[in-house]
Structures are given as C-alpha cells and as structure tokens.
Structure 1
Amino acid sequence: MSCATKKQTIKTENNTSEKTTKETSKADLTAITEVPESKNETLVDTEVDLIPLPPKPPKQLSNFKEVIHNRWNTILQKHVSESGNVDYKAIKNESEFDVYIDYLSETVPDDTWTKDEKLAYWINAYNALTVDLILRHYPVKSIKDIKDPWDQRLWQFGDTWQNLNDIEHKILRKMDEPRIHFAIVCASISCPKLQNEAFTASNLETQLTTATKEFLNDSTKNELTEDHIKLSKIFKWFKKDFEQDGDLINLLNQYADVNISSSAKKSFKDYNWNLND
C-alpha cells in the first residue's frame, strides 16, 4: 500500500468500540500508532483510514510594508530604462499607477515602522508623486514649467495634504540619511536617475549605496579627478546634509571610483532641468 492510502489495524471489541472511537477522535487519528489493549479486548481486524490534517491556511504576506510597493516596482521595470529615462506617456496609460498612488495615501507609516521601512516608503512616495505631477501636466518639457511644482498640495496622506517639499525637507531629510538625495528624483536630466526598481527596507542599504555610486561616478553628473572635482549642485544645495558626519571629501571617497585629494579644487556643474524622458 502507498503512504497516501496507508491503513492500520485496530484491536477492539464490540462492547468497547464506542469508547475507542471517542478516544481516538480526541487524539486526532492522523497519528495513530497503537491502541492500548485492555483485559476485555479481543483481536478484530478493523481498518480505519488515517484522517489527514486540515489544509494549512494560505501563507500570509509577511511584510505588507514592502508588498505595497509591488505595483510601483512593476511600473518602473516596464517603463524606466536602465539609464533612468522615463516613458511618461506609457505610465499615463497605466491604471495600476493610480491604484498605487491611492494605496500609498491609505497606508501612511506610523511609529511601528522601522527607520528603513519609513525611508523606503517615503522615497518611493516622493518619486511616484513626482511622476504623477508630471503626468498631470504632460506633455511638458521641464518640471520647472509647472507653477510651484514642489509646493502643490495635491495628495492626501491620512489627514495631511502633502507636497514634494514637505516630504523631502520635513520627513526624509530629518531621518539623517544623506544618500536619499541620490534616490529621490526631480524628473530632470541632471537629477539622479530614477531607479527601475522600488526601494524596500530589506534591500535599502544596497540600493542606496548603488544609487550613490551610480550618480557620483556618472561623468554627466559629476567630474572627478584626484585634484579637481566638478560636482552636481546637489552637493551645494544640501551641503549641510553631506557634511553632518565630517568632511565632504571623506564622504565622496567612500563611493568614488577615484581617490580624491583632500586639497582638491571644487566647482559645480550647470544644472539641466529638462525632462528625463
């Protein structure tokens, strides 16, 4: 007999069968190996099918704080190139994009979320809302063609109407992680590229490191040699963030492909605000 149809012989007697049935039902017949003999029992060949355990409930998604970004991840993989070019027209036709924005607004982080979970959430939110802002005015050549682009309160998160400035300056920057400046994107050519995957808490350290290295070593964004650095104006605008743990050169040398001298001359590149499409 196969394991799936395995049966066992139970020793019983007519006048004790009812009692045995009750006892075995309590003991869960799935694991019957022996029925104790009493002095009144005689051997009777009785076959009983092993009762299978009830099926396990479907495995619940263990971390909804990451699962909520699945739609965004799919959209990014479909419509953002490896170099960060965004197909806004295609995203505009994605009904799932609107669903994601709505879901974000209904799933605001609270004090039970870890720092990395909050960071991943708000980085994704900033980038998605920036795309949404562009789509509300598309076609457009630059985010700067939109009136007060970073101050428009277009999205309700819980009881608060958010704008991009508040998410960046009142939420993300207060979390003391300067690499967020290479993860959030202002829809412009000189910005860090929009990554074509969603940020998640479990991969955040790797993702922030990758985004920082890619931006810093992209010669269209920064020009680095041992004795001279021509940097993105991001390093000028957010100087305080990059020097909170020491000298800027020390920070750059953690991610740059070249070793920059502490006495290197510094200047800044012009910023290209044209759309990153």
Structure 2
Amino acid sequence: MALFLTLITVFCATFATGSDLKTSYEFWDEVVSHHISPGHLEGISVNVVDYESIRSDENFYKYLIVIRDVDTKNFTRSELYAFFMNVYNAFAIKMILDHSCDNCTPIKSIRDISSLLSPVWTKTAGYAAGKSWSLDEVENYLRNPKPFQEDPRLHACIVCASISCPNVLMGAFEPSTVDEQMTSQMETFLKNTKKGLAMDKSSKTVHLSSIFNWFSGDFIRHAGSVKDFIMQYAPADVVSYLNNTDVDFKYFSYDWNLNGQVTCNCTI
C-alpha cells in the first residue's frame, strides 16, 4: 500500500488525464510477461500467476494509476476489448492481493473474499475510465459493449484468478492484435482437455468448461448454438468428430482454487 501511495504522488502530474493509453499497455505487458509462466496445478495445465512477485512490482501499480482516468468515450471496438479485458485481469489479481488473508490464513480461492451479503464479484475491484468497477461490472460491460456487439471470445480472455478459468495471457491485449489474440485464447482454451474441452468417444460425450453453460446465451446469439460456436475454434479432430457424430454435452466441475499461491503477512 505504501508503494501504491508513493507512486500515485509521483505519477499524478505526469498522467493527470490518464490519456496515455499506450503506456497502460506497456505497463501491463511488463507485469504479465514477467510474473506469469506455464505450469500445472492440481493436474491441470495453467498459466501460473506469481502473485507475490506482482505485489512487489511497481509496474503493476503504475498500470493501476494510468488506467484510472483513461477517456474511453471514442474507443473503437478493438480498443474497448483490449483495454477492458486487461482491466478485468488486473482487477482480479488486485482483488487477490488486497484480500490475501482470511483470519491470518492465505485464501485458497477468489470466492473466499465473498461475504454473505457481498459476493466477491460485486465488490469494488478498482478504478478505470473515471469510475469504480466490480468484476461483474467489467464483465457485463464487455458482454454488452454498446454501441458494439458482444464478442463471446471474451470468455476465453478474462480470468477470475482460478484454475479452471482460461489462462491469463502472458502479454497485454492490444488494439492492433486483439482479434488474433482473442482467437488464440479461445483455441488454446479448447485444446485444454482438463478444463476447456475433452471428447469421450466411448460414450459419445463432449465435456466443456462450465463457462459454455453459464454463458450459453452469449454463444447461441453469436453462432446459433454452443456447438456451432466451439466448432469455429476447436481442434480439427474435434470438429471432424462433431460433424459426423451426435454427441451429448456435459460440463467439467469448476476448480475455483487460485491459479497461483499467495502469502499472508498478518498479525492479530
């Protein structure tokens, strides 16, 4: 917190309007490219987040400062998706760092931050584009990004700090490349047979991430059905099988444990 307050003092003059959008991408790219790495947690392939190294990286706090007052009013569709998907992922990490202790014990899941009357998704997660946001608010804005239409590939790009979530991109989403990045994220997610998609030919069953169940309406509106959507991005052998076989769709249980460990420096 002391580092964050110091950086606010240093940067407020330089980024008084928060208009340096390019700088925000550079700061976030520095964070995710240095503190996230491929690995496995609980037998699942995950881009593992090193929360504690992010906690001590001034670039993380610089990013949080720069995005506070960015003017998004005239954003293109690509700018909107790149900016707010980065924001969501940063705010999810910030929520873990801000609430890493539960009764002086490190939290094991983002859902540990919830209380009876205040789910973690509705708590204030951070400030961007001149206002405060919860994780739900960022996600819902991306799902209804007026005046643009929703791009349901976003569901493979925003990461709620959990093992069963799609992997955090090890780089910033940027407007010039966001379309390719979103496609790559969805393709990578559907290649992950432990949390994205897995075929069981013996029972003619395809297991999908629960994300395709929870947000089925988004995929149906875009492609006509969940099946038609995933066939645009699934591996070739899956597409061939779905084209020639009637299958049942089932959904993986969701592993909400953190996609990296946090420590708890706490005294009672």
TM-score range relative to shorter protein: 0.7 to 0.9
Please state whether the residue corresponding to 1:85 is helix, strand or coil: strand
- Which structure 2 residues correspond to residues 192-211 of structure 1 after superposition, within 5 A? 192-211=166-185
User: Gapped runs of 5+ residues in structure 2?
Assistant: 1-18, 39-45, 101-105, 261-268
Query: Number of residues paired by the alignment?
Result: 213
Which of 1 and 2 has greater Rg?
A: 1
**Residue equivalent to 1:272:** 255
**Residue equivalent to 2:90:** 128
**Residue equivalent to 1:167:** 138
Judged with a 3 Å threshold, the aligned counterparts in structure 2 of structure 1 residues 140 and 239 are, in CA distance, closer, same or farther, namely: same
- Which structure 2 residues correspond to residues 85-234 of structure 1 after superposition, within 5 A? 85-110=48-73, 112-138=74-100, 139-147=106-114, 148-169=119-140, 171-175=141-145, 176-221=150-195, 222-224=197-199, 227-234=204-211
Distance 1:121 1:143 in 2: 23
Please state whether the residue corresponding to 2:192 is helix, strand or coil: coil
Please state whether the residue corresponding to 1:81 is helix, strand or coil: strand
Q: Percent identity?
A: 32
Residue 88 of structure 1 aligns to which amino acid in structure 2? Y
Q: CA deviation at 1:117?
A: 0.3
**Residue equivalent to 1:71:** 27
Distance 1:247 1:96 in 2: 41
Q: CA deviation at 1:106?
A: 1.6
User: Gapped runs of 5+ residues in structure 1?
Assistant: 1-62
Please state whether the residue corresponding to 1:230 is helix, strand or coil: strand
Q: CA deviation at 1:156?
A: 3.1
CA RMSD in angstroms, aligned pairs only = 1.7
**Residue equivalent to 1:249:** 227
Please state whether the residue corresponding to 1:155 is helix, strand or coil: strand
Q: Residue 108 of structure 1 contacts residue 157 of structure 1 at CA under 8 Å; is this kept in 2?
A: no
Distance 1:71 1:119 in 2: 17
Distance 1:73 1:248 in 2: 32
Greater RCO (Cα-Cα under 8 Å, separation 6 or more): 2
Judged with a 3 Å threshold, the aligned counterparts in structure 2 of structure 1 residues 158 and 210 are, in CA distance, closer, same or farther, namely: closer
Judged with a 3 Å threshold, the aligned counterparts in structure 2 of structure 1 residues 120 and 272 are, in CA distance, closer, same or farther, namely: same
Q: CA deviation at 1:64?
A: 4.5
Residue 51 of structure 2 aligns to which amino acid in structure 1? Y
Distance 1:187 1:157 in 2: 19
Q: Residue 65 of structure 1 contacts residue 117 of structure 1 at CA under 8 Å; is this kept in 2?
A: no
Please state whether the residue corresponding to 1:201 is helix, strand or coil: coil
Residue 211 of structure 1 aligns to which amino acid in structure 2? Q
Please state which structure has a larger fraction of its residues in strand.
Answer: 2
Q: Residue 207 of structure 2 contacts residue 250 of structure 2 at CA under 8 Å; is this kept in 1?
A: yes
Cα deviation code 1:123-145 (max 9, x no counterpart): 00000011000001224211011
Residue 243 of structure 1 aligns to which amino acid in structure 2? I
Judged with a 3 Å threshold, the aligned counterparts in structure 2 of structure 1 residues 70 and 158 are, in CA distance, closer, same or farther, namely: closer
Q: Residue 72 of structure 2 contacts residue 129 of structure 2 at CA under 8 Å; is this kept in 1?
A: no
